[in-house]
């Protein structure tokens, strides 16, 4: 099999890429960090959070780096002032949408949402907080799902489906009513499909999915397993 090698520029840097790679993959290989939340290496990208939006010369639209394939001669900008403003806005909306209280959160200090806010310099939320009343599902013997902290990135849905093969998780509802659910919106503890593997917990970027018995700031996630499992999946 021959692989076509493409040449393009990312942030004025000349880079080469294999055909079929995404902007995110090529940027990462070349040491360029693009902010992201829904994307995690090892799961199929979905372009849900829009944090990775980039400018591509010749296209008026902003394109998500995690799902956009590179092409010959492409000129990509990943960190313009405009993109920085949009990224702050997206993070403000995520913080305002549900109830985030970092100081008392099990994921404090280990949370992708929190660290992304710091990275892009989002230091206060300018839109009104919504303070929805949301459920905490603690019916599972090992894990907890706290919808107050969920950003609907669907990492849990994808890992459970694509890696574990259980497809316990899915998304229900629309807009502000969207929720991740287990089985047919049944309590997680009653789920007949969940194998209790814990993969969803460990890919979840926030304090939404956690292990029981963890106190404030104790829920560090283990992500090292993902690339290995993906590799195995490819080689089978």
- Contacts to ligand FES by CB under 6 A: 36-39, 47-52, 64-66
Q: In which residue are the tokens 């902010």 written?
A: 35
Closest CB 119 distance from other proteins, rounded Å: 8
Q: What's the CA gap between 98 and 71, in Å, rounded?
A: 38
Q: Which is nearer to ligand FES, 39 or 158 (CB)?
A: 39
Applying CB under 6 A, among 120, 122, 150, 181 the residue interacting with ligand SF4 is 150
3-state secondary structure of 234: helix
Q: What's the CA gap between 89 and 65, in Å, rounded?
A: 18
- Residues in CB range of 112: below 8 A, 6 or more apart: 37, 205, 206
Residue 132, contacted partner among other proteins, ligand FES, ligand SF4, none, CB below 5-8 A by kind: other proteins
Question: Apex CA 28: angle with CA 108 and CA 62, to 5°?
Answer: 90
Question: Is residue 188 a contact point for other proteins (CB under 8 A)?
Answer: no
Q: What's the CA gap between 72 and 88, in Å, rounded?
A: 31
Residue 94, contacted partner among ligand SF4, other proteins, ligand FES, none, CB below 5-8 A by kind: none
Question: Is residue 156 a contact point for ligand SF4 (CB under 6 A)?
Answer: yes
Question: Is residue 164 a contact point for ligand SF4 (CB under 6 A)?
Answer: yes
Count other C-beta atoms under 10 Å from residue 47's C-beta. 16
Q: In which residue are the tokens 């939340």 written?
A: 37
Q: In which residue are the tokens 């979840």 written?
A: 204
Question: Is residue 81 a contact point for other proteins (CB under 8 A)?
Answer: no
Residue 123, contacted partner among ligand SF4, ligand FES, other proteins, none, CB below 5-8 A by kind: other proteins
Applying CB under 8 A, among 23, 27, 63, 117 the residue interacting with other proteins is 117
Q: What's the CA gap between 187 and 137, in Å, rounded?
A: 7
Q: How many helices (H) and strands (E) does the chain have?
A: 6, 10
Residues that bind other proteins (CB under 8 A): 95, 99-105, 108-109, 111, 114-115, 117-118, 121, 123-126, 128-129, 131-133
Residues that bind ligand SF4 (CB under 6 A): 100-102, 105, 107-108, 111, 113-114, 149-156, 159-160, 164, 166, 168-169, 180, 194-200, 204-209
């Amino acid at each position: 099999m021959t692989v076509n090698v493409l040449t393009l520029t990312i942030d004025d840097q000349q880079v080469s890429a294999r055909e079929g790679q995404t902007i995110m993959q090529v940027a990462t290989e070349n040491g360029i960090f693009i902010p992201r939340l829904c994307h995690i290496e090892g799961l199929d990208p979905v372009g849900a959070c829009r944090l990775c939006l980039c400018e591509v010369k010749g296209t008026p639209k902003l394109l998500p780096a995690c799902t956009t394939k590179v092409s010959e001669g492409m000129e990509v900008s990943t960190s313009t002032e405009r993109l920085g403003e949009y990224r702050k806005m997206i993070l403000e909306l995520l913080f305002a949408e549900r109830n985030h209280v970092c100081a008392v959160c099990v994921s404090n200090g280990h949370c992708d949402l929190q660290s992304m806010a710091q990275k892009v310099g989002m230091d206060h939320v300018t839109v009104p907080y919504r303070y929805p009343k949301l459920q905490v599902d603690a019916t599972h013997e090992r894990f907890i799902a706290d919808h107050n902290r969920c950003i609907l990135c669907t990492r849990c849905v994808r890992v459970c489906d694509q890696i574990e093969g259980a497809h316990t998780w899915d998304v229900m509802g629309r807009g502000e009513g969207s929720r991740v659910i287990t089985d047919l919106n049944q309590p997680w503890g009653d789920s007949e499909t969940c194998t209790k593997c814990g993969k969803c917990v460990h890919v979840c970027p926030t304090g939404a999915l956690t292990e029981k018995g963890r106190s404030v700031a104790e829920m560090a996630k283990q992500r090292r397993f993902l690339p290995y499992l993906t590799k195995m999946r490819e080689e089978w």
